[in-house]
């Protein structure tokens, strides 16, 4: 749960925000190098996602369980990341009621 609380830190003002869609490449520090995510999405939040993903890969390597890919499924967001020599490529897919899933039925 530490990953979720660090990724989605609550602010004092509640705001409605669209979920990110696209991909991004991050360096070994988790900073965004390239991105296809809309520029309307705050860069600071993309950097947070990047840092947390790189940290997950690093912690897995330290625990002698190196990962090549991770896939996180939230109710409204699917995050897939692949390790790239210390950095990562991250794919962000918002999920909607009409999005097909691997386990769900197609409408």
Separation of alpha carbons 23 and 35, rounded Å = 6
Specify the number of domains making up the chain.
Answer: 1
Please give the span between the terminal C-alpha atoms of the chain, in angstroms, as a whole number. 32
Note down pLDDT in tens along the chain; length 107 residues: 566 666 666 555 666 677 888 999 999 999 999 999 998 888 898 999 999 999 999 999 999 998 899 999 988 889 999 999 889 999 999 987 555 555 554 44
* pTM exceeding the 0.95 threshold for the entire prediction: no
Alpha helices in 1-107 (DSSP H): 2-7, 43-62
Dist CA 23 CA 2 (whole Å): 23
Residue 6: inside a domain, yes or no? Answer: no
Give the range of the structural domain holding residue 88, as residue numbers without chain letter: 20-94
The CATH number of whichever domain residue 54 belongs to comes to 3.30.450.30
């Amino acid at each position: 749960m530490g990953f979720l609380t660090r990724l989605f830190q609550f602010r004092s003002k509640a705001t409605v925000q669209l979920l990110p869609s696209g991909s991004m490449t991050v360096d070994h520090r988790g900073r965004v190098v390239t991105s296809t995510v809309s520029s309307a999405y705050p860069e600071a939040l993309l950097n947070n996602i990047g840092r947390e993903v790189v940290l997950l890969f690093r912690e897995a390597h330290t625990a002698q369980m190196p990962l090549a890919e991770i896939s996180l499924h939230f109710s409204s967001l699917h995050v897939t990341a692949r390790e790239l020599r210390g950095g990562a490529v991250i794919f962000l897919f918002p999920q909607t009621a009409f999005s097909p899933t691997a386990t769900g039925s197609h409408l």
